[in-house]
Amino acid sequence: MRILLVEDDPMIGKSVQDALKKQESYAVDWVRDGVAAELALGNGVYDLLLLDLGLPRKAGLEVLSGLRARKSPIPVLILTARDAVADRVAGLDAGADDFLVKPFDLDELGARIRALMRRHSGRASPVIEHGDLKLNPLTHEVELDGKPVILSAREFALLSALLERPGAPLSRSQLEERIYGWGEEVESNTIEVYIHALRRKLGAHWILNLRGVGYMVPKEP
Ligand code: CA
């Protein structure tokens, strides 16, 4: 999962980015003003926007209004100051899905993000099930036929991306976009290496390689 974080406070930005990368193995890109946020959002690669409201160059509310005016469905979680009740209300009215008041606990941020993504994907239960395969985004546990499967953080992120839409292939570059943030070194064959590891651990039939197109989890496992 790839997140855009928009925050001009360097300490908050750094701690949020570090925590989400390490604890949740999300790819997190961080920009520090509203104009940079709009440029980054133009790529359309993000699964979630974490948006501070008081930002240089362009206010967070303006960024949000513009996003919704362009009919972007991306889930948005607002990060706001304690005394800014009016801002929070305006943010929700402008199309934010949730907000968190600063200073917030990083574990709570992780939990809010998971809840938001569950609501967004229409799943009430946190566990993703596909055939005999179960994947828990909260605990990062994976089970196949009732037996635990141990995956690395990157393998888990890759499998989660593929399981969002079984039967729909993702290209190598789409997968790279999902599991790496900016400035993270991507070696040329890493996706293949992770796919190979996943097929070895789960069974080759779980991940199909469509030559020249990409990879997918079959619709009917
Ligand atoms: Ca700010």
Residue 123's pLDDT is: 65
pTM over 0.85: no
The string of pLDDT tens digits covering residues 176-200 is 888 887 777 777 788 999 999 999 9
The string of pLDDT tens digits covering residues 58-107 is 999 999 999 999 988 899 999 988 777 888 899 999 999 999 999 999 99
Q: What's the gap in Å between 71 CA and the centre of ligand 1?
A: 25
The CATH architecture to which 2-121 belongs is 3-Layer(aba) Sandwich (3.40)
Q: What's the gap in Å between 34 CA and the centre of ligand 1?
A: 10
The string of pLDDT tens digits covering residues 152-178 is 888 998 999 999 889 999 999 889 888
Q: What's the gap in Å between 176 CA and the centre of ligand 1?
A: 30
The string of pLDDT tens digits covering residues 112-148 is 999 998 888 776 667 889 999 999 877 788 999 999 9
SS3 state of residue 6:
strand
Greater confidence (114 vs 25) lies with 114
Q: Where are the domains of the chain?
A: 2-121, 128-216
Residue 124's pLDDT is: 62
**Which residues are close to ligand 1, an ion, with C-beta < 5 A?**
8, 52, 54
CATH class of the domain defined by 128-216: mainly alpha
Residue 88's pLDDT is: 87
